């Protein structure tokens, strides 16, 4: 090979290598998200957090959004689906149009009616732009090949056609429409609370058909199959927010604790998975909206068992002894508490609600506020289920509900016993 031909050959090799590099770079650019799509995915991740999608679609310790989490209901057990972008077992073959239709109408890709454990009654309010962003984010997570587990519903609830009647009674399709008489901040809060946050699903009583009345929205109720009570947000006798400051509401939502108390049980999971990640502006908007809820109505938790004054006196006497031995060190001899670590029990609304479920469960199971970005080392309460009898649990709960000017009603040992086998969440 001549020197000229060698030089030409090397030049050709360099040109070929350059073309290969250009082709490789072009392919990499094609595969990488564009700045605009990356921003959409990031926004979708934020919105998926706001919707707390991970709570239902991820088994604790399992792969993100791979589904399979059991959701017990009075009608049987539902299992959440895989919503990773796997092409066979997830949503890999879905389009953005199909995803929005599911969110908006409560129907799956094949037209099948969804059970209302999926909060489509709230998600129907989500805008098309936000739905597309959530879909883009879900398409960006690692795909997981995991077939969906069939639901285990009793007859006749396994007949999806019955959902037509349910939807006629309880489902109103349509995106959120801003209230022109309210501020931009209030409308943003309403959109998050009524839509992605689906807060009314827990804070509104569920009837025998698994539905709830709009006229009873946010008036509180027992959470089916979880044995926790979601208090009324519209009654100052319970968790009504009329005399709360915006800052206290925002702290409770975002930190999991405020000067007014802390969250436990299912609400702790909501704060941990979802609300702690929202922006200060969005949390404040939610607080503004929640504080504006009209204060009316009572509670839906049911009344405690009737009890003679003599029996109540005996319970209170025993409860005082249990309290001084087990509780006073943290909560104070007169229930004054030690803020910010230990909440006061005097004039504590959560202690005095019509339903005694939550204070009984706290004594039995203990509880910790969630560890959050702004409250990374929360204080908690140990469980007493193993060390206190049903009579002692009933006694100490009766005591804290009726002492120091508290206006709660007494509880019985039967009520305490009934909650010993309840699931923690």
Give the domain CATH number at 234.
1.10.760
**pLDDT beneath 50, residues of the chain:** 1-31, 299-304
Q: Out of 291, 318, 344, pick the residue that ends a domain.
A: 291
Burial class (CB in 10 A: 0-12, 13-18, 19+), 386: exposed
Check whether residue 188 and residue 286 sit in a common domain.
Answer: yes
Structural domain includes residue 304: no
Identify whether the C-beta of residue 295 lies closer than 8 Å to the C-beta of residue 64: no
Check whether residue 339 and residue 270 sit in a common domain.
Answer: no
Check whether residue 151 and residue 210 sit in a common domain.
Answer: no
Structural domain includes residue 296: no
Check whether residue 270 and residue 200 sit in a common domain.
Answer: yes
Handedness of CA 386, 425, 68, 52 (dihedral sign): negative
Handedness of CA 292, 293, 296, 301 (dihedral sign): negative
For residue 325, what is the domain's CATH number? 1.10.760.10
Handedness of CA 244, 246, 250, 253 (dihedral sign): positive
Check whether residue 211 and residue 157 sit in a common domain.
Answer: no
Closest by CA to 230, choosing from 192, 264, 255, is 264
Write down the pLDDT at residue 425. 62
Check whether residue 357 and residue 287 sit in a common domain.
Answer: no
Write down the pLDDT at residue 14. 41
Check whether residue 156 and residue 198 sit in a common domain.
Answer: no
Q: Tell me: the pLDDT tens digits for 147-161?
A: 999 999 999 999 999
Check whether residue 188 and residue 165 sit in a common domain.
Answer: no
CA–CA gap between residue 89 and residue 83 (Å, rounded): 8
Which residues, including other chains, have CB under 8 Å from residue 350's CB and lie 6 or more apart? 231, 239, 261, 358, 359
Q: Tell me: the pLDDT tens digits for 290-329?
A: 999 988 655 444 444 568 888 888 888 999 999 999 999 9
Check whether residue 223 and residue 270 sit in a common domain.
Answer: yes
Domain count, the chain: 3
Check whether residue 95 and residue 155 sit in a common domain.
Answer: yes
Structural domain includes residue 299: no
Which residues, including other chains, have CB under 8 Å from residue 136's CB and lie 6 or more apart? 37, 40, 41, 44, 96
Write down the pLDDT at residue 209. 82
Write down the pLDDT at residue 124. 98
Write down the pLDDT at residue 183. 98
C-alpha angle 369-373-336 in degrees, rounded to nearest 5: 35
**What residue ranges in 148-294 does DSSP mark as E strands?**
152-153, 221-223, 228-230, 257-258, 261-262
Identify the residue whose tokens are 């066979």: 88
- Give me 423's structure tokens: 């699931």
Write down the pLDDT at residue 30. 44
Q: Out of 147, 170, 193, pick the residue that ends a domain.
A: 170
What domain range includes position 322?
Answer: 309-418
Q: Out of 170, 197, 229, pick the residue that ends a domain.
A: 170
Structural domain includes residue 218: yes
Write down the pLDDT at residue 340. 75
Structural domain includes residue 249: yes
Check whether residue 270 and residue 145 sit in a common domain.
Answer: no
Check whether residue 160 and residue 54 sit in a common domain.
Answer: yes
Structural domain includes residue 386: yes
Structural domain includes residue 99: yes
Write down the pLDDT at residue 267. 93
Residues pairing with 229 in the sheet:
222
Using CA atoms, how far residue 269 sits from 118, 158, 181, 274, in Å, is 17, 29, 34, 8
Structural domain includes residue 201: yes
């Amino acid at each position: 090979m001549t020197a000229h031909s060698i030089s030409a050959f090397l030049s050709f090799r360099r040109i070929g290598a350059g073309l290969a590099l250009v082709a490789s770079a072009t392919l990499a650019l094609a595969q990488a998200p564009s700045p605009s799509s990356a921003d959409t995915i990031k926004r979708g991740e934020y919105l998926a957090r706001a919707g707390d999608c991970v709570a239902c679609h991820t088994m604790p310790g399992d792969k993100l959004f791979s589904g399979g989490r059991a959701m017990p209901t009075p009608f049987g057990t539902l299992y959440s689906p895989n919503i990773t972008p796997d092409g066979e077992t997830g949503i890999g073959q879905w389009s953005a149009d199909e995803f929005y239709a599911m969110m908006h109408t409560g129907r799956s890709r094949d037209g099948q009616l969804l059970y209302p454990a999926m909060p489509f009654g709230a998600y129907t309010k989500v805008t098309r732009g936000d739905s597309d962003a959530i879909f883009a984010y879900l398409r960006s997570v690692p795909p997981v090949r995991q077939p969906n587990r069939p639901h285990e519903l009793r007859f006749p609830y396994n007949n999806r056609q019955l959902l037509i009647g349910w939807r006629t009674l309880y489902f109103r399709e349509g995106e959120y429409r801003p209230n022109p008489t309210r501020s931009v901040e209030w409308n943003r809060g309403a959109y998050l609370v009524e839509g992605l946050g689906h807060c009314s699903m827990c804070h509104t009583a569920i009837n025998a058909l698994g539905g709830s009345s709009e006229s009873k929205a946010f008036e509180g109720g027992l959470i089916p199959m979880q044995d926790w009570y979601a208090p009324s947000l519209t009654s100052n006798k319970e968790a009504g927010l009329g005399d709360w400051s915006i800052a206290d509401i925002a702290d409770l939502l975002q930190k999991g604790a405020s000067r007014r108390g802390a969250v436990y049980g299912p609400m702790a999971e909501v704060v941990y998975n979802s609300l702690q990640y929202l922006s200060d502006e969005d949390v404040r908007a939610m607080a503004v909206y929640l504080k504006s809820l009209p204060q009316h109505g009572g509670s839906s938790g049911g009344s405690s068992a009737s009890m003679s004054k003599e029996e109540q006196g005996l319970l209170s006497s025993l409860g005082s002894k249990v309290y001084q031995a087990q509780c006073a060190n943290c909560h104070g001899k007169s229930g004054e508490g030690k803020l910010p670590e230990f909440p006061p029990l005097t004039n504590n609304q959560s202690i005095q609600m019509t339903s005694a479920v939550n204070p009984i469960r706290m004594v039995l199971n203990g509880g910790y506020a969630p560890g959050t970005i702004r409250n990374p080392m929360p204080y908690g309460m140990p469980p007493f289920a193993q060390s206190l009898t049903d009579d002692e649990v009933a006694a100490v709960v009766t005591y804290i509900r009726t002492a120091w000017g508290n206006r709660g009603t007494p509880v019985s040992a039967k009520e305490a016993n009934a909650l010993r086998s309840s699931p923690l969440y």
